[in-house]
Structure formats: C-alpha cells, structure tokens
Amino acid sequence: MNRGRRTEHSRDKILQIGAELFTRNGYHATGVKEILTTCKVPKGSFYNFFESKEHFAVEILEHYRTIEFERWHTLAAQLQGNHFERMYQIIEKEIERFGNEQYACGCLLANLSGEVSQCSPLFSATIARSIRMVHDAITDDVLQCQQEGSLRRDLPADIVADVLLNHWQGALLRCKVENSTLPLQNHLTLLNSFKPSTEDIQ
Amino acid sequence: MNRGRRTEHSRDKILQIGAELFTRNGYHATGVKEILTTCKVPKGSFYNFFESKEHFAVEILEHYRTIEFERWHTLAAQLQGNHFERMYQIIEKEIERFGNEQYACGCLLANLSGEVSQCSPLFSATIARSIRMVHDAITDDVLQCQQEGSLRRDLPADIVADVLLNHWQGALLRCKVENSTLPLQNHLTLLNSFKPSTEDIQ
C-alpha cells in the first residue's frame, strides 16, 4: 500500500468509526481521542484530515446520507411489484437490518438531530439539508404511489411524506430506548393506513 | 425565607434550569458548573442535593413527566366536545405553546432519548418508563375515541397509540432542526386520517 492509499484508508476508517461511535454514544460523549484509539490511527492524523470535530461530524453526516441514498436505490432496483409494494418491502428489509445490526444505536441523523441541531449554524444547516433531501425522496415515492393508485390521493404527497418521515424518525428513537425494532413495525401499519379505501377506488 | 425554604427553592431552581439547558443543549454539552452559574446557586450545593449529574438528569426526567401529565389533564378538563375533539384541541394548544415558547428546544424526552438512552441502565430504564407511561395514556385516549365512534376501530388502540407517539416524537425532533412548528401540524393530519371512513360508520 503506498502512502497516498494508506492516508485515504486512515481517513475512511476515522469516518467509519466516528459514525459508529456518534450513532451509539452521541456527539459530545465521543472524544476525538476515543475515535483514534478505536481505529488505531496516530493521534496527529485527525487534524490533518479534518478542520475540527464539528467539521468531522458534518462530513460524516454528508457521507452517511450519500451511502444511505445509494443503498435505498440499489435495494429498490432489485425488488419486484408496484411502487407501493417495493416501498413496503424496503421498509421490511430496513426493519430486518436494524434488528440484525444496530437497533440499539438508532439512526445517526435522528440521534444527532436531538443532540446537536441547535449547537451551531453549521450543524443546523447540515441536518436540515439531510432531512429535506430525505423528505423530497419520500415525496417522490408517495407521488408515484398516488399515480399508480396504491396510496390515497386526497392528501398532498408532501404531507404524507412529512407524516412518514416524522414517524420513522420517532420510531427509530423508540427502538434505541426499548432495544427492540417493534416500534418500526408500526411504520408498516401506517403505510397500510394510507392505502385508498374502497370508496376512494370506486 | 427560612433556611429550609431557601434550600428547597435552590433545589427546585437547579432542576428547572437543568431541564431548560438539557432540553436546549443536550446532556453532555451542559456542565454542572454552567447550571449553577445560570441559577446563581453556590457550587457546593449541587452534590448536597443530587448524587451525581446522571441522578440529577433522571430526577429531571421524572419531574418533567409528572408536570407534563398534570398539565395535559388540567387542559383536557377545561375543554368541550367529545374525546376526539378534546384530543385535537390539546394538540392544537401544544403546537401553539411550542410556537410561543420553545420550539427551538424540542422536547426533553425526545432529545435525551437520542443522546443518552444507551449511556447507562439507569437512563435507559427511566426513559423507557416515561415513554411507556405516555404510550399508555395515549392508548386510553384512543380507546375512548374508538368507543365513542370518533376513531376507526379496525386497528387496535395500542397500535394507533404507538403510531401517534412515534409521529409526535419525530415531529418534535424536526421542529428543533427546522426552527418551526410546521412538522407538528402534520400530527393533526395524522389524527384526522384515523377518523372512521363513511363505510366504517355504515
């Protein structure tokens, strides 16, 4: 491994471990020293890579959002059925994933929203941008479902997306508290409750 | 003011300021020194009153829950209409209150859920107990609405309560991020979406 690749590797590792520790223990409870000790990277490296702990956390949030979007798109492309059925299956797979891996940690975005969104304009803008992008993606999904007739059309797509996003974030918080993915199961109930009733279809 | 009352006054003031600072800035970012400086109480007092910062935060969570429950009961008793109409009005008044006072801070329970629920068994148990009690109170409300026919009956009351609780917590988080009470308005949309359809009533 040459020096450039080793440097890149160290930087990626710090980002990955930082994301894990911030998600599990929060921003303020995670020290830069703990991150570097965990990923066995020399202490001096951190400030070569990142301007400050705050800029580091912002980079993690952006990085995490990109990865999550790519993962959802890849997953959606592999599934069969109409748009609603694929949305439903993605949620089922997400619940399964949280159950296997990380339900005790919750979601980085939801956890940091509560802790640091008021701490600085940089945090606030980054978190707000991530949430807006997730909201817009869900709105697109809801619109496609409404167009194919699998979700009720009497509510605007962006309002349904708001409700779905709020519910998912709140359910993730409860999973962390209750050490269980049960609160996420309600997201499937909520999705089903937005199906058109037979009188809407007539 | 005698010494006993002065002591009681200092203790209450530390709890009140602690709750405000934890809600606004989070648990780890708020130091004991900052709390005592803000409420102008001698530094030595804190550990006379509280075993540790963690026990202090737990006491705040319990205190905050009791106050919130009393406030909701008092509010409900003053309102007119059937149970659904009173629930709806309480939510409207809560949204108004968050708009006037503290939407930038969010809710202590939601904020600390994300930050500290995995930090210790004491935090985890306290937050889980608070959430369970809120959930049970909402379940009672939903049951009363179902019995009077103002909410759909094809979903179990505790599932509807789960969805409402998750949504409210997630919406509060978004209010903090977006400096707006707009996400809470969606809670009224969600409540309305659980009204029985005309075919359920027939």
CATH of the domain at B178: 1.10.357.10
Least Cα separation, residue B108 to chain A (angstroms): 9
The whole-angstrom separation of Cα A72 and Cα A68 is 6
In angstroms, rounded to a whole number, what is the distance separating the alpha carbons of residues B132 and B151? 22
Domain interval for residue A13: 1-50
Contact residues on chain B for A166, CB-CB shorter than 8 A: 166-167, 170-171, 174, 183, 186-187
**A35 & A127 share domain:** no
- Are A10 and A86 contained in the same domain? no
Burial annotation B32-63 (CB, 10 A radius, 16+ → b, else e): beebbeebebeeebbeebbeebbebbbbbbeb
Using a CB-CB cut-off of 8 Å, the residues of chain A touching B197 are 197, 199
Asked whether residue B137 carries a pLDDT value surpassing 60, the answer given is yes
Q: What is the mean pLDDT of residues B150-165?
A: 94
A71 shares a domain with A23? no
Predicted confidence (pLDDT) per residue in B62-87, tens digit: 988 898 899 889 999 999 999 999 99
Please report the pLDDT score of residue B199 as a whole number. Answer: 57
Do A39 and A79 lie in one domain? The reply is no
With cut-offs at 50, 70 and 90, classify the pLDDT of residue B4: low
Number of domains in chain B: 2
Contact B167 A167 (CB under 8 A): yes
* A103 or B120: which leads in pLDDT: B120
pLDDT in tens, B46-65: 888 999 999 999 999 998 88
Residues B83 and B113 in one domain: yes
Q: What is the pLDDT of residue A61?
A: 93
Mutate to test the interface with A, among B27, B134, B173 (most CBs of A within 10 A): B173
Which pLDDT does position A1 carry in this prediction?
Answer: 46
**Domain end position, chosen among B50, B69, B91:** B50
Q: Which residues of A117-135 are buried (b: 16+ CB within 10 A; e: fewer)?
A: bbbeeebbebbbebbeebb
| B61 plus B131 within the same structural domain | yes
A75 and A44 co-located in one domain: no
* Angstrom distance (rounded) from CA B26 to CA A117: 10
User: Tens of pLDDT along chain A (202 residues)?
Assistant: 455 666 766 888 899 899 989 988 889 889 999 998 998 888 778 888 999 999 999 999 998 889 889 988 999 999 999 999 999 999 999 898 888 765 556 678 887 887 788 778 899 899 999 999 999 999 999 999 999 999 999 999 999 999 999 999 999 888 888 888 899 999 999 999 999 976 555 4
B70 and B105, same domain (yes or no)? yes
Instruction: List the single range of B25-29, B91-95, B136-140 with lowest mean pLDDT.
Output: B25-29
Enter the pTM of the model. 0.86
- Do A174 and A87 belong together in one domain? yes
A26 and A102: one domain? Answer: no
Do B40 and B117 belong together in one domain? no
Whether residue B46 sits in one domain with residue B59: no
Cα–Cα dist A139/A160, whole Å:
8
User: Per-residue pLDDT averaged across B89-100, rounded?
Assistant: 89
Nearest by CB: A186 against B116, B159, B171: B159
Q: Considering CB atoms only, which of B114, B193, B198 is closest to A115?
A: B114
Domain at A1, CATH number: 1.10.10.60
How far A44 CA sits from the closest chain B CA (Å)? Answer: 25
